[in-house]
Amino acid sequence: MRHLRLVCTLVAITVCSAILASQTPSGHALFEQALAKERVEGNLPEAIKLYERVVTEFTSDRALAAQALVQVGLCYEKLGRDEAVRAYERLLRDFS
């Protein structure tokens, strides 16, 4: 009986872990969501938030993080905001 309870607990933990892992978007999926916000919906502030998440949450993928920073800069340029310069400076400083 105790062995069965242990097995059931381990199965439940494994299933819950798999569900949680599948709910966390990958860096590329998050980047694609940001692109859709930017290009399809035209929602630049939301796109910037998603791109920033890519930069902070997926730093190990340097190419993707750098690409996200470029997009942040472009979004700020479209909005006519000075934050574009800071995004490009960060790109050069952190990813040159």
Question: How far is 38 from 10, CA to CA, in rounded Å?
Answer: 42
Determine the pLDDT at residue 16.
45
Locate tokens 């490009």: which residue? Answer: 88
Locate tokens 């930017």: which residue? Answer: 38
Question: How far is 54 from 64, CA to CA, in rounded Å?
Answer: 8
Our CA angle for 21, 27, 31, nearest 5°, is 130
For the segment 17-64, what is each residue's pLDDT rounded down to a tens digit? 445 445 568 999 999 999 999 999 999 999 999 999 999 999 999 999
Contacts of 45 (CB under 8 A, 6+ apart): 79
Average pLDDT over residues 3-13: 53
What is the model's pTM? 0.75
Question: How far is 12 from 31, CA to CA, in rounded Å?
Answer: 32
Residue 10 clears pLDDT 50, i.e. is over it: no
Determine the pLDDT at residue 25.
83
